[in-house]
Structure 1
Amino acid sequence: MAIHPVEQCVAELDAAFNRGDIESVLDHYEDAAVVMVAPDRSISGKDNLRAFFELFMTSGSTAKQDRMHVTAQGDLALYLSHWTLTTPGPGGPAGEQHHVATSVFRRGIDGRWRLVIDNSFGPLVLER
């Protein structure tokens, strides 16, 4: 079974994040994208996204998708995943956080899928 282009987009995004390529990470987001940075807080705008992602990249954190599902209609797609954020400990073993993401992608006129809403915390936003 072929993977959906959104799944490929997320694979590329994770690879860019894991290697610390901030420009490539930001290119996976629309200019006005909204990103949930905590279950009770969101940011938007490329400058804010840059600062947020650079913080995680400099810490050596990595992201990995464990399971994914895409539902698409036309130029919109709902992306669901179980994913893991691994953060190195100071001189010790890495810590892992497991999350469920619910995100929205839009296919642009250039044919590329980009994030419009990135909710990496999924249903945790309901607990705030």
Structure 2
Amino acid sequence: MKKDEEKLNRRVNMQNHELEQVIKNADRAINNEDFDHLMEFYSEDATLVVKPGTVAKGKEQIRRAFIAIAEYFNHSLIVNQEKMAIIETGDTALVVAQAQLIANQKDDSEFSMERTATYVFKKDSTGTWRCIIDNSYGAEIIKN
């Protein structure tokens, strides 16, 4: 019973899950505006919440959305995921992350925001995790 409890605690803590590095690599691609590389993290039919009420579907729309976001922030957006909780079942995982967004070259003012983001990942046929839902707004999407 003790081993089962330890195993459960490791799963609940979700430390050092491979998705942590996947997400850090995706953040690096966003920060470097390497949108070709960034698209490797998404499934073909992925959905990105651009802002509450607006989504981009599929890699081409998502790529265009990231280009527009970079332009909106005058190419100064830095994204970093602080803490993460990862809940996995089979080939699907829910990630809840403390996301920090900073932009110091925005036209109207400096921008900094912390969000509790939610992401859904699915392993593809090669065993590679792909983001299928990217919602950096988390539960904020249901608020008016």
| TM-score normalised per structure 1 | 0.91
- Which residue number in structure 1 is paired with residue 29 of structure 2? 16
Q: Which runs of 5 or more residues in structure 1 are unaligned? A: none
**Residue identity matched to 2:83:** R
Counterparts of 1:94 and 1:107, CA distance in 2:
37
Cα distance per residue 1:72-93 (max 9 Å; x no partner): 0111000001111111235897
Counterparts of 1:127 and 1:16, CA distance in 2:
29
Secondary structure, in 3 states, of the residue corresponding to 2:110? Answer: strand
Greater percentage in helix? 2
Aligned-pair identity (%): 27
**Residue identity matched to 1:104:** V
- Which residue number in structure 1 is paired with residue 4 of structure 2? none
Cα distance per residue 1:34-61 (max 9 Å; x no partner): 1111122211022211111112334221
- Which residue number in structure 2 is paired with residue 30 of structure 1? 43
Counterparts of 2:48 and 2:106, CA distance in 1:
27
Larger deviation, residues 6-15 vs 53-62: 53-62
Greater percentage in strand? 1
Equivalent residue pairs, number: 128
Deviation at 1:10, TM superposition (A): 0.1
Pick the aligned partner of 2:53 from 40, 47, 50: 40
**Residue identity matched to 1:22:** F
Q: Which runs of 5 or more residues in structure 2 are unaligned? A: 1-9
The 5 Å alignment of 1:14-93 reads 14-58=27-71, 59-90=75-106
Secondary structure, in 3 states, of the residue corresponding to 1:89? Answer: coil
Runs of at least 4 residues off by over 6 Å: none
| TM-score normalised per structure 2 | 0.81
Contact 2:76 2:106 in 1 (8 A): no
Structure number, greater radius of gyration: 2
CA-based RMSD: 1.9
Counterparts of 2:109 and 2:67, CA distance in 1:
22
